[in-house]
């Protein structure tokens, strides 16, 4: 791997859902830069070097294949690549702290700080260090202190360049971002560092979509962006509960309000609540920051977004239990979907797994079917996985079941032969559509009792 012919050496520390795809897109558009992605996880790096990439993401294979070996490399030799880098993106995980002060809310920055110290130890030239991970506002200040109080006399510029991609559409989001946000210091050196990052993105992003701000606005905008998106989901889910009581239909309400230009149609899909590795973590972090600065009303306001999400999941399970004659013990219940959303293999904080755990607590016999996420589901469920059957074929999974719960919006669940599924199930057969995904009228005609989110159920008179 010879770095001499490249204009600049870019390094990304952390080869996860963000580091891998973002660097692959940068490398594919910027053949003049050498892009190396490193990680402490050897298996992950081997997977990135192989034909079987560690994450499922539409379009990712093609982008990686295009650049890998040309100017995109994956490695575990972190120290050597730090030494060679001009620009270092840090994309390590920033989970919620599980211990000590701020436990359950604050961001656990230990991986970040370790990385900063490792950068310092292995640097012999000045560098630009880019926060790609989502971080609490003012993290860059701590990074500046750690990196710049060094006896070597090296200067490091810290830049915030938060990532807004969503899983399942990561490549499209990177290729055509709504905006790229770059925050930095207002000093001459800070401005030069901002320009170096702008120069990367202008290789494919129109200049007017690249916005530059001060460091704190950039860090805070990322948390606020996720909080606003999650807030819309909690808002529509709150209204779905009211729809179920009043006979209004949540899809019709969402459509009607979404046509107002000021509201807009996106992120108004009611369901079993948001999941994924970030919304919950980032809102908790925002709540913690507000509490830290003494803004208890602001903290309580945002905390409610999470409470509503938990309520929606709990409500879904209790609706299932009451529809199935107040007991599901020993009943075979098939979960269609384990991933936190369609088009990803990611099951981190997936509402499907939360529902699975609640059903296991009720002693149901749970079977999970998912086209890409079964392996991650098994890992994330831990001990509970021993009590679950994993079946990739949804038709086989539904055989002999009392109920199906649709928990991930995979399109393939809409294309199944539900007549065949109905025939193979115990009667009365139930479908609980937690994503309002299926053709409910058609299923009702086949004979199913259908329960949806934010709509009256379609049930045949059931004799117990």
Nearest CA to 420 out of 395, 448, 394 is that of 395
Q: Which is nearer to ligand NAD, 277 or 313 (CB)?
A: 277
- x/- string (CB under 6 A) for ligand NAD, residues 21-40? -----------------xxx
Spatial neighbors of 262 by CB under 8 A, at least 6 apart, are: none
Instruction: By CB under 6 A, tell whether 255 contacts ligand NAD.
Output: no
Nearest CA to 354 out of 314, 304, 393, 320 is that of 314
Q: Which is nearer to ligand NAD, 95 or 265 (CB)?
A: 95
Instruction: By CB under 6 A, tell whether 230 contacts ligand NAD.
Output: no
233 binds, among ligand UGA, ligand NAD, none (CB under 5 to 8 A by kind): ligand UGA
Site for ligand UGA, residues 124 to 143, rule: CB under 6 A: 134
Long-range contacts of 288-297 (CB under 8 A, 24+ apart): 288/102, 288/105, 288/106, 288/107, 288/136, 289/136, 289/137, 289/223, 291/105
274 binds, among ligand NAD, ligand UGA, none (CB under 5 to 8 A by kind): ligand UGA
Quote the CA–CA distance of 362 and 403 in Å, as a whole number: 14
Instruction: By CB under 6 A, tell whether 164 contacts ligand UGA.
Output: yes
Among 54, 183, 184, 276, binds ligand UGA (CB under 6 A): 276
Taking CB positions, which residue lies at the least distance from ligand UGA? 278
Task: For the chain, count helices (H), then strands (E).
Answer: 17, 14
Instruction: By CB under 6 A, tell whether 278 contacts ligand UGA.
Output: yes
190 binds, among ligand UGA, ligand NAD, none (CB under 5 to 8 A by kind): none
Contact yes or no for 90/133 (Cβ under 8 A): yes
In the complex, minimum distance from the CB of residue 15 to ligand NAD, in angstroms, rounded to a whole number: 5
Q: Residue holding tokens 């936190």?
A: 340
Instruction: By CB under 6 A, tell whether 134 contacts ligand NAD.
Output: yes
Instruction: By CB under 6 A, tell whether 226 contacts ligand UGA.
Output: yes
In the complex, minimum distance from the CB of residue 45 to ligand NAD, in angstroms, rounded to a whole number: 9
Spatial neighbors of 221 by CB under 8 A, at least 6 apart, are: 162, 181, 213
Contact yes or no for 447/434 (Cβ under 8 A): no
Quote the CA–CA distance of 440 and 111 in Å, as a whole number: 47
Spatial neighbors of 141 by CB under 8 A, at least 6 apart, are: 215
418 binds, among ligand NAD, ligand UGA, none (CB under 5 to 8 A by kind): none
Instruction: By CB under 6 A, tell whether 91 contacts ligand UGA.
Output: no
Q: How far is CA 91 from CA 16, 23, 121, 147, 378, in A?
A: 8, 10, 19, 17, 25
Q: Which is nearer to ligand UGA, 206 or 264 (CB)?
A: 264
Among 167, 219, 365, 380, binds ligand UGA (CB under 6 A): 167
Instruction: By CB under 6 A, tell whether 229 contacts ligand UGA.
Output: yes
Catalytic residue, chosen from 12, 30, 278, 290, is 278
Is 290 a catalytic site residue?
no
Instruction: By CB under 6 A, tell whether 184 contacts ligand NAD.
Output: no
Hey, what are 274's tokens? 């948001």
Q: Which residues bind ligand UGA (CB under 6 A)?
A: 134, 163-167, 226, 229, 233, 267-269, 271, 274-276, 278-279, 340-341
């Amino acid at each position: 791997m010879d770095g001499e012919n490249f204009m600049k050496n870019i390094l990304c520390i952390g080869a996860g859902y963000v580091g891998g795809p973002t660097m692959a897109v940068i490398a594919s558009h910027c053949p003049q830069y050498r892009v190396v992605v490193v990680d402490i996880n050897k298996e992950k790096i081997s997977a990135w070097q192989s034909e079987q990439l560690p994450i499922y993401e539409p379009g990712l294979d093609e982008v990686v294949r295009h650049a890998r070996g040309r100017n995109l490399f994956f490695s575990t030799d972190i120290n050597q690549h730090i030494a060679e880098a001009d620009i270092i993106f840090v994309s390590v995980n920033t989970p919620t702290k599980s211990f000590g002060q701020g436990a359950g809310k604050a961001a656990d920055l230990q991986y970040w700080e370790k990385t900063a110290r490792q950068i310092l130890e292995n640097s012999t030239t000045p560098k630009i260090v880019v926060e790609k991970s989502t971080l609490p506002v003012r993290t860059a200040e701590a990074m500046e202190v750690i990196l710049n109080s060094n006896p070597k006399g090296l200067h490091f510029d810290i830049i915030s360049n938060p990532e807004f991609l969503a899983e399942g559409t990561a490549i499209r989001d990177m290729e055509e971002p709504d905006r790229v946000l770059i925050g930095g210091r207002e000093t001459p050196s800070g401005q030069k560092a901002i320009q170096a990052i702008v120069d990367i993105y202008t290789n494919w992003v129109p200049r007017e979509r690249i916005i530059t701000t001060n460091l704190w606005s950039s860090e805070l905008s990322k948390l606020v962006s996720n909080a606003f998106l999650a807030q819309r989901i909690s808002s529509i889910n709150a209204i779905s509960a009211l729809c179920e009581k009043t006979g209004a239909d949540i899809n019709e309400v969402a459509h009607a309000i979404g046509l107002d230009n000021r509201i807009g149609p996106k992120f108004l899909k009611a369901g079993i609540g948001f999941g994924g590795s970030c919304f919950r973590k980032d809102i908790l972090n925002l709540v913690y920051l507000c509490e830290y600065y003494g803004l208890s009303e602001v903290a309580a306001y945002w905390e409610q977004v999470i409470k509503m999400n938990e309520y929606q999941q709990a409500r879904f399970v209790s609706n299932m239990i009451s529809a199935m004659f107040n007991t599901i013990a020993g009943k075979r219940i098939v979960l269609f979907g384990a991933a936190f959303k369609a088009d990803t293999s990611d099951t981190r904080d997936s509402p499907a797994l939360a529902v699975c755990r609640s059903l296991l607590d009720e002693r149901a016999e749970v079977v999970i079917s998912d086209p890409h996420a079964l392996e991650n589901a098994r890992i994330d469920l831990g001990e509970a996985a021993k009590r679950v059957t994993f079946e990739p074929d949804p038709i086989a999974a539904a055989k002999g079941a009392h109920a199906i719960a649709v928990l991930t919006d995979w399109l393939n669940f809409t294309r199944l032969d539900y007549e065949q599924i109905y025939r193979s199930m115990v009667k009365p057969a139930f479908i609980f559509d937690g994503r309002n995904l299926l053709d409910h009228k058609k299923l009702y005609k086949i004979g199913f009792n259908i329960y949806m989110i934010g709509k009256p159920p379609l049930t045949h008179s059931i004799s117990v």
